[in-house]
Structure 1
């Protein structure tokens, strides 16, 4: 039976939950997630959890903050004057906005964390930063770097 190792391309079905049991992502009803083990395409804890699994195996992995999206960085939370945001953009607590830095063509997603009549507090951390994560996973396919289905 094929065992996942660094360099293999794997297909995985998963359900990701937070410590309170809230599901934040799942492949249910979709194609399995495909990635190359050890390539950095997924968070370290997920990569490490797949390594050594056998095709068809199911397990639950617990990923601490450090091996997930890291701790929340307070320097990435900032407050703007509400008047600095165009009036035609509706603002709601928890909403994600895309900001653009001068000279950077890629938008930076920020989450509205606080809203007053005069100020808006935005958080540019990854939405899962500061969270321990749990994944129920099933390894459904393994292909070696040569393309052979193991």
Structure 2
């Protein structure tokens, strides 16, 4: 709790922010935080949330309630039809086991990298996969409350700083 003498801190770099929020789409579909709001905390200035979200919070204070829209281009980008790929079972035999309408997470055995794709359709010859982010092409409607803003501790800042190498 903030005492009557303390002014709430503003959101800016090197501060921890705690939010309660709800994200929906233009048609009202709830993406995160239905009846109960979702919660998140993040360190400002360290690429832990969408840059467009962080930018809209800068200068606001704990206790404030905000509503805004992040356009698709500032969120997960425009939907890119070039990211929809048709694969025959000859070139992608694993596609036989996939179910249309499902998301799949794949791993690169060599690098360990993971990526997701959506199985759009499947027929006797192959499968059509969509590699776009699920929210690509969608504007995000935020409704949130800034629950807390505090300075990051020296220990937290050490963990957040990138490694430095001497040259």
Alignment counterpart, residue 111 of structure 1, candidates 106, 110, 118: 118
2:79 aligned partner:
72
Counterparts of 2:14 and 2:35, CA distance in 1:
25
Please list the CA deviations of residues 31-86 of structure 1 after superposition, one character each: whole Å capped at 9, or x if unmatched: 72010122211112211122121101111111011211111233322111246343
Determine the structure 2 residue equivalent to 1:24.
Answer: 31
TM-score by length of 2: 0.76
Report the alpha carbon displacement of residue 7 of structure 1 after superposing the two structures with TM.
Answer: 2.0
Q: How much has 1:101 moved relative to structure 2?
A: 3.7
Aligned to 1:53: 60
Greater C-alpha Rg: 2
Provide the TM-score with structure 1 as the length reference: 0.84
Does residue 91 in structure 1 map to residue 88 in structure 2? no
Residue 145 in 1 paired to residue 167 in 2?
Answer: no
| CA shift for structure 1 position 28 | 6.0
Structure-2 change in CA distance of 1:73 and 1:101 (3 Å): farther
Please list every run of 5 or more consecutive structure 1 residues that lacks an aligned counterpart in the other structure: none
User: Any unmatched runs of 5+ in structure 2?
Assistant: 1-7, 155-167
Q: How many residues align?
A: 146
In terms of fraction of residues, the more helix-rich structure is 2
**Distance in 2, Cα, partners of 1:62 & 1:122:** 29
Map of 2:162 onto structure 1: none
Q: Give, in angstroms, the shift of residue 141 of structure 1.
A: 0.7
Q: CA deviation at 1:109?
A: 0.8
Q: 1:41 aligns with which of 48, 56, 59?
A: 48
